[in-house]
Amino acid sequence: MADSAVVEPRLLRGLRDLLPDQMRARQQMIDTIRGVYESYGFVPLGTPSLEYLDVLTGSAGQEANQSLFRVRNPDRTEREQTEDPTERLGLRFDLTVPLARVIAQYPNLPRPFRRYQVASVFRADKPDPGRYREFTQFDIDSVGVESDLADTEIIAVACDALSALNVGPYQVRFSSRRVLNLLLEFAEVREPITLRWPKGTTARHMADESGTRAARDVFRVLDKLDKVGFERVKLELTAGYQDESGDMIPGLGLEDSQVERIRAFLAVEGERRDDVLRQLRELFSGLPDATAEIDGLARISDRLGGLGYAEDRVRLDLSIARGLAYYTGPVFEARLMEAPQYGSVFGGGRYDDLVTRFLGQRIPATGGSMGVDRLLAALVEKERIRLVPSTAQVLVTTLDPGLTDEYLAIAGELRRAGIRTEPFLGKPGYGQSKKQFRYADQCRVPISVVLGGDEKQAGVVIVKQMDVGRQLTQQAGDRAAWLEMRPGEIRVPRADLVAAVRERLRLLGE
């Protein structure tokens, strides 16, 4: 062990291995989501993990971004990479920028281009518990569609995916980022917002640094609402205040009448989408631009209603636009009602500036991102997903080395019947039975098949239901006892093995 050449097996903090139980559950989730996305005709896209740094950040030399993992370009010397920023490489930090690059690079792709991508993304930020430096994103986007049909579809497909994942009750809330423009107009905050694409950021994942100063400041303050409450927000919108620690929080200098209008907007809410729309129409009745905008939200709401997405799972909630102010049109996010502490498990919106950094022109786009890791953690906590470290449904024990061919034949027979089966490949022997059952137990394989010389002669096999043993053990408090007791065992004629195993699995719901 104390070899000087021995390397310590370890990972950079913030990175992690996904052991089989985690990996399996995640894979099943991804398959389910993929199935739903493909049922809508979305197509898969693959892009490399590595991109040029200026592609990622929006312009060469722009490297303040601490989130990026830098990669050395193998085709250039260190010096060449220092001198020419367009030669630098990094790992992708989202799947939106690579999509934008693909749209710009392949002008002959069909339009609309409706793609999904599930892949690792990388962030070099300081890791926190539950926040990793490499994690999976599952994105879905429609590029090239101006119509809010595309936004409606993204909301519908997200609902269908969450339903298929059996996440329990969930709620997708939507709004439009343009409602905030109307609010500024309504509250007579004079500067209109002209959203520019922020350098080194992306719509979906980084904070907004764009817009004119007035708009940005108002949104920044409104974003604190849930945390600090309206009274402090009001102070910050007007004259400013001094907080507990003595810090001066500057005010934006709005009039009381302006704040009243903002307060009236913040009060627009309701369980029924029609109700929210009605209030909004009333509130903004004096604004000429409001009708078209509210009609758009009504269209999304009506279409979703027509398709069966009722109020219980799709709400019109104007407050979400505050948190997603960097989008350019409809915005949406989904929460699990049983696990609200996990926050948004799906989020997105329209971002028509996607490809601007490459083409210098706007291309309409809308889409969202499913947080696979977050969803999995929530579903495991709520016991909606069992983490099982095996794929095998049956372990064929290998008690008699002389019967090895028979064990392999049994495994093949079960497999041909569609039953996932593993012969025990470790040490065979009657003396190894405890060890073999412990292995089945550790991997949570539900059924073991046992065949010794006696059984072979009698033309039978033993089918052992592992959880019966586990239950008895828990009662007896002795983990090893059941191995001797042979509970949950049935002897069946060798010819009936497949049928017997299949019936057991059916009863177990496997």
DSSP 148-181: HHHHHHHHHHHHHHHHHTT--SEEEEEEETHHHH
Q: Based on CB atoms, which residue is closest to a copy of itself, 60 or 264? A: 60
Q: Are 448 and 395 in contact (CB under 8 A)?
A: yes
In this structure, what token pair is assigned to residue 12?
A: 């950079």
Nearer to a copy of itself, 310 or 409 (CB): 409
Looking at the Cβ atoms of 59 and 242, the one nearer to a copy of itself is 59
- Judge contact between 315 and 271, C-beta under 8 A: yes
Q: Which of 161, 152, 370, 164 is nearest to 273 (CA)?
A: 152
Distance of closest approach, residue 254 Cβ to a copy of itself, in angstroms: 33
Residue 7 Cβ, how far from a copy of itself at the closest point, in Å? 5
Strand order through the sheet with 489-493: 421-423, 394-396, 447-450, 460-465, 489-493
Contact predicate 268/284, CB 8 Å: no
Structure token pair of residue 369: 């991102």
Instruction: Give the separation between CA 499 and CA 149, rounded to whole angstroms.
Output: 50
Q: Write down the least CB distance from residue 59 to a copy of itself, Å.
A: 6
CB of 386 to a copy of itself, least distance (A): 15
Q: Rounded to the nearest whole angstrom, what is the least distance from the CB of residue 416 to a copy of itself in the complex?
A: 9
Helix residue ranges, H only, 316-465: 320-323, 356-359, 372-381, 404-416, 433-443, 453-458
Could you identify the residue written with the tokens 């786009």?
Answer: 365
Phi, psi of 16 (to 5 degrees): -155, 155
User: CB of 318: closest distance to a copy of itself in angstroms?
Assistant: 25
**Least distance from a copy of itself to the Cβ atom of residue 47, Å:** 5
Residue-wise over 366-394: b if at least 16 C-beta within 10 A, else e? bbbbbbbbbbbbbbeeeebbebbebebbb
Least CB distance to a copy of itself at residue 273 (A): 16
Choice between 92 and 234, CB closer to a copy of itself: 92
Cβ-based nearer residue to a copy of itself, 132 or 241: 132
Q: Find out whether 91 and 230 touch, Cβ atoms under 8 Å.
A: no
Q: ω before 44 within 30° of 0 (cis)?
A: no
Say if residue 457 is exposed, middle or buried (CB neighbours under 10 Å; 0-12, 13-18, 19+): exposed
Cβ-based nearer residue to a copy of itself, 12 or 499: 12
Nearer to a copy of itself, 63 or 223 (CB): 63
Q: How far is the CB of 170 from a copy of itself (least distance, A)?
A: 19
Nearer to a copy of itself, 124 or 249 (CB): 124
Closer to a copy of itself by CB, 47 or 238: give it.
47
